[in-house]
């Protein structure tokens, strides 16, 4: 009976850790809080400060150089695909993510041929 007392907790621990191991091996275990971005699946409102420029470009269905042109930095060589939006305020004067989302929306609407709605007051 003494041996049986230890079997249930050990099996429980093995099952729990095994589940974590399988989830990590399959890529289903994500602890960073960052989301995986599918190509062409982002709207301008989905661009977050923790995203890299390359993630946003891929998600918006545009090229990295095209995105950098929209940001309009004084020195484009400072921006790399791994630069996060939250770091742009230090690199680009007067950069504001909320304003940039509006710029993105207008650019994508014009690029896709849809009319740009007038802002409501």
Q: Please check whether residues 48 and 105 belong to one and the same domain.
A: yes
Integer Cα distance of 7 and 2 in angstroms: 9
> What is the percentage of the chain residues whose pLDDT exceeds 90?
26
Q: What letters, b where the CB count within 10 A reaches 16 and e where it falls short, cover 108-120?
A: beeeeeeeeeeee
Q: Is residue 49 included in any domain, yes or no?
A: yes
Q: Please check whether residues 66 and 7 belong to one and the same domain.
A: no
Q: Is residue 121 included in any domain, yes or no?
A: no
Q: Please check whether residues 96 and 61 belong to one and the same domain.
A: yes
Q: Please check whether residues 15 and 71 belong to one and the same domain.
A: no
Confidence at 84, pLDDT banded by 50, 70, 90: very high
Q: Please check whether residues 23 and 52 belong to one and the same domain.
A: no
Integer Cα distance of 114 and 49 in angstroms: 27
Q: Please check whether residues 48 and 104 belong to one and the same domain.
A: yes
pTM beyond 0.85: no
Domain tally, the chain: 2
Range(s) of the domain holding residue 2: 1-31
Q: Is residue 118 included in any domain, yes or no?
A: no
Taking only the tens place, the pLDDT of each residue in 21-73 is 888 888 777 666 555 565 667 888 888 888 899 999 998 888 999 999 999 89
Task: Return the minimum-mean-pLDDT range out of 67-76, 80-89, 110-119.
Answer: 110-119
CA dihedral 65, 91, 60, 115 (to 10 degrees): -90
Q: Is residue 3 included in any domain, yes or no?
A: yes
> Which residue is it, tokens 């095209």?
66
């Amino acid at each position: 009976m003494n041996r049986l007392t230890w079997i249930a907790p050990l099996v429980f621990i093995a099952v729990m850790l095994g589940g974590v191991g399988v989830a990590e091996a399959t890529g289903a275990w994500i602890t960073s809080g960052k989301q995986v971005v599918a190509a062409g699946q982002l709207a301008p409102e989905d661009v977050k400060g923790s995203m890299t420029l390359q993630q946003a470009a891929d998600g918006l269905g545009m090229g990295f150089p095209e995105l950098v042109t929209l940001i309009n930095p004084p020195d484009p060589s400072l921006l790399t695909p791994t630069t996060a939006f939250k770091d742009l305020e230090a690199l680009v004067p007067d950069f504001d993510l909320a304003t940039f989302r509006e710029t993105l929306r207008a650019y994508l609407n014009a690029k896709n041929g849809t009319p740009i709605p007038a802002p409501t007051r």
